[in-house]
């Protein structure tokens, strides 16, 4: 009897222990390393005559790599070249420790028309995450590839991809000492497919996108003085919105697109003004003997940040769109300028100068910590991607300005495809209308 009792007790104890352990066993995993997720993007198959007009797989892989979130396998490391799901041997990809696999193919469906099909797989679980078939025209293939990158990015990160967006920038092609060709260009987010929307023999500066991506505001010296223009990107129609004596510069569309912040020196020192685009009403926002310039809107449009040297050196300040006192945001180093606000309003990218080295830095508005994300030495004009994951900026490379991107954390930096001439003042456009 007693024995049985003990046995019962023992077993109950074991069972409880086991059950308890079952429920309680939680292994803590802390640390890890931030890094790009391994992914394999297999070159897309091609069913059509001639050469595939656009290497879709390559465009996607480059997009993903540029984001800093993904580390696409080099082509030579691919263990297979499947183009559809049923051709995939997951085990072989597991061995490579890649989390995800992208396969696809392009089919010609007519003269200059195609269907692009792709599938994204979870390699470890051996299942498809997404798969689409997208029709495209020949000139659209790159755009479709970026769109696919966005879909993949969104599936894997939960954030909207910003690959299928456009960037604007200014090129200065110096033909001779007195002859420089300035162009305002718009290109895909990877720098490909550039289109000139304005050409001038006089400097063009500070392009800024309207929130709907249909217009660009910029400064042109075409009339041998600075003027602010707003131009329809598609039609090329434009108008002068600011043509005041002195400096007319650094336009910035408000998030609702109805207002344009700008720097004017018509009243003395350069200050920040806000122009109501529909009424033409101009309102002075800052009134300070120092230089206030490079305004950028905070999300929601209630506040703006700008550069001011009122504290001695250029630093970033924040001010209400209704005016009032400005609050200094940057304190590290003696040069912080050219702010770009992240879409979530949590970070501000700036040009951070320190000891003659100018780098892009990101200020965490919550912690106040400033972290450099680019190497320098002459980086300028940071511009957040519309999803906040990357920053586009101009860097000096080989004695000329080129475009570069860096991930928000600074882990992945990459120069974009080289444009003609000296490239400066890039601005990353908004998401395309959905």
Token digits of residue 9? 């007790």
Helix spans in 349-413 (H): none
Q: Does 156 bind other proteins (CB under 8 A)?
A: yes
- Residue 362 belongs to what H/E stretch? strand 357-364
Stretch that binds other proteins, among 185-193, 204-212, 222-230, 405-413 (CB under 8 A): 405-413
Q: Does 157 bind other proteins (CB under 8 A)?
A: yes
Token digits of residue 403? 């475009």
Nearer to other proteins, 359 or 389 (CB): 389
SS3 256: coil
Least separation in angstroms between residue 195's CB and other proteins is 31
**In sequence order, what DSSP letters do the residues of 397-421 get, joined into one string?**
ETTEEEEEEEETTSS-EEEPPPPSS
Closest CA to 121 of 83, 161, 150: 83
Stretch that binds other proteins, among 4-12, 85-93, 130-138, 314-322 (CB under 8 A): 4-12
SS3 57: helix
Least separation in angstroms between residue 409's CB and other proteins is 4
Q: Does 407 bind other proteins (CB under 8 A)?
A: yes
Q: Does 34 bind other proteins (CB under 8 A)?
A: yes
Residue 51 DSSP label: -
Can you tell me the distance from the alpha carbon of 219 to that of 179, in angstroms, rounded to the nearest whole number? 19
Nearer to other proteins, 156 or 351 (CB): 156
Among 389, 405, 422, 424, binds other proteins (CB under 8 A): 389
Among 31, 280, 325, 398, binds other proteins (CB under 8 A): 31
Residues 117-146 that bind other proteins (CB under 8 A): 124-125
CB contact at 8 A, 203 and 241:
no
Stretch that binds other proteins, among 167-175, 306-314, 320-328, 402-410 (CB under 8 A): 402-410
Can you tell me the distance from the alpha carbon of 279 to that of 261, in angstroms, rounded to the nearest whole number? 14
Q: Binding pattern to other proteins, positions 63-102, x when CB under 8 A?
A: -----xx------------------------x--x-x---
Residues 6 or more apart in contact with residue 159 via CB below 8 angstroms: 153, 387, 388, 389
Q: Does 345 bind other proteins (CB under 8 A)?
A: no
Nearer to other proteins, 125 or 196 (CB): 125
Can you tell me the distance from the alpha carbon of 54 to that of 190, in angstroms, rounded to the nearest whole number? 14
Residues that bind other proteins (CB under 8 A): 2-3, 6-7, 10, 14, 17-18, 21-22, 25-38, 68-69, 94, 97, 99, 124-125, 156-159, 389, 407-409, 411-412
């Amino acid at each position: 009897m007693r024995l049985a009792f003990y046995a019962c007790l023992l077993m109950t104890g074991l069972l409880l222990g086991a059950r308890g352990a079952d429920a309680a066993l939680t292994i803590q995993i802390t640390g890890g390393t931030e890094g790009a997720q391994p992914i394999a993007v297999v070159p897309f198959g091609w069913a059509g005559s001639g050469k595939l007009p656009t290497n879709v797989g390559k465009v996607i892989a480059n997009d993903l790599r540029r984001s800093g979130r993904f580390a696409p396998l080099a082509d030579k490391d691919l263990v297979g070249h499947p183009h559809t799901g049923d051709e995939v041997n997951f085990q072989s990809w597991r061995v490579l420790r890649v989390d995800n696999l992208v396969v696809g193919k392009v089919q010609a469906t007519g003269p200059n028309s195609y269907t692009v099909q792709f599938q994204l797989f979870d390699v470890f679980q051996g299942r498809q995450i997404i798969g689409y078939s997208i029709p495209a025209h020949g000139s659209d293939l790159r755009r479709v590839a970026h769109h696919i990158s966005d879909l993949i990015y969104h599936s894997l990160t939960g954030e909207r991809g910003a690959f299928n967006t456009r960037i604007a920038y200014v090129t200065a092609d110096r033909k001779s000492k007195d002859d420089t060709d300035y162009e305002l260009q718009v290109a895909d987010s990877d720098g490909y497919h550039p289109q000139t929307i304005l050409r001038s023999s006089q400097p063009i500066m500070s392009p800024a996108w309207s929130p709907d991506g249909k217009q660009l505001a910029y400064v042109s010296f075409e009339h041998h003085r600075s003027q602010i223009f707003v131009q329809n990107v598609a039609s090329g129609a434009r108008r002068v919105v600011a043509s005041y004596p002195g400096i007319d510069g650094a336009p910035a569309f408000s998030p609702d697109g109805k207002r344009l912040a700008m720097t004017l020196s018509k009243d003395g020192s350069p200050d920040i003004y806000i122009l109501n685009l529909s009424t033409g009403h101009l309102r002075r926002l800052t009134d300070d003997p120092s230089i206030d310039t490079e305004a950028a809107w905070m999300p929601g449009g209630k506040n703006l940040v700008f550069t001011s040297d009122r504290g001695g050196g250029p630093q970033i300040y924040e001010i209400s769109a209704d005016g009032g006192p400005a609050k200094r945001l940057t304190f590290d180093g003696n040069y912080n300028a050219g702010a770009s606000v992240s879409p979530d309003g949590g970070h501000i990218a700036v040009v951070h100068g320190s000891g003659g080295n100018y780098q892009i830095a990101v200020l965490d508005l919550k912690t106040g910590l400033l972290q450099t994300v680019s190497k320098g030495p002459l980086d300028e004009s940071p511009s957040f991607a519309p999803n906040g994951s990357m920053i586009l900026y101009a860097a000096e490379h080989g004695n000329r300005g080129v475009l570069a991107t860096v991930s928000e954390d600074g882990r992945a930096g990459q120069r974009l495809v080289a444009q003609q001439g000296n490239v400066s003042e890039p601005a990353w456009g908004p998401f395309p209308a959905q």
